[in-house]
Chain A
Amino acid sequence: MMTDPTATVSRPSGAPQARNASRDPAQDAAAGASIQKRAALSPAAQEPDAGSRLGAPAAPSLGRETNHADAGGQRAGHGDGAPLLLVENLGKSFTLHLQGGLSLPVVSAVSLAVHAGECVALGGPSGAGKSSILKMVFGNYRVDKGSVLVADHDAMVEVAGAAPRLMLRLRRERIGYVSQFLRVIPRVSALDVVAAPLRAEGVDAETAKARAGALLTRLNLPERLWGLPPATFSGGEQQRVNVARGFISTQPLLLLDEPTASLDAANRAVVIDLICEKKAQGCGLLGIFHDAETRDAVADRVVDVTRFSA
């Protein structure tokens, strides 16, 4: 099964694909992932992956996948194949020791999957636990119960309880995150903030900055601001820096926490385009969009988080 990754990559993303039990579902995840790699790496750099896929454990993943499709009932004929993200029975509560050990349940029994080429929206009112779910997927919040599996080349890797080194690598290579607010680092220019994820992937400074500039231009951030640290920027300007930082990198799974909250209509449209481009490239996206127009424009389906209230 020496598959050329390009063979699976080149199919139109999200296009219906014959379900074939003999097919290695892990391959799809790897293919979705390798789309991203292809942008940055030479074909030669992928060879080890293609080779090691020979020994990929097909059966367990397949079992999971089938179970999920049946139990979750949320698949809409989208992206048949192994998911980029598989959340199963996830539960979380906070214990507030300073409030006499008060336990604050957040969510329980969250199950969902995100496949290559689709955008899944988390729906529900404020406080339903949407952001907490994203944060658990990103390893920012700890997982109390259940499992968060993320496609990592030919394997699904457990995020819950992952060692810091593994989590950091997954963030660098697999999981991107556009947080609601930019965490400003003193003295670092907007352009460098945006270019940083690419630099971490090993892209040279000049290329990274050129791509960062191109994204900031698309997001209508005036060039005179690029050299300044974003601390003094307006909320909307900071959010655009944050969006650019999140979209510049090439992780196959992208988490979006209200990426358009403080944006005007023109910039919202840019973000919608960026999301659609990521989908077309085979990324999977899991996002929170309070703005219905944005959600309708990008989301393939909505997972109602109130179903998981703890």
Chain B
Amino acid sequence: MKIVVTIVGKDQVGIIASVSSILADNNVNILNVNQNIMDGFFNMVLIAEMTDDKLKLADLQKLLKEKGEAMRLEIKVQHQDIFNSMHTI
């Protein structure tokens, strides 16, 4: 299952490291990353694939949400199908 992770918040050291280590720990393979800084704000959209059948999306959402709260970032994890549905026929 492919997922889309969006991260928004004040730029700081270790955002990508923290998020990608959580993904790696859970066997989530990163496919595409787009990141920039605008006015000191960190924006990242990351597309990844969950390879572990036992991992539930809700659990991954919880892990990343907790990390986001600790680092004062807004981290959103969504099933990729909502974007496919809306933008492809």
B and A form one assembly: no
Q: Which residues of A contact B (CB under 8 A)?
A: none
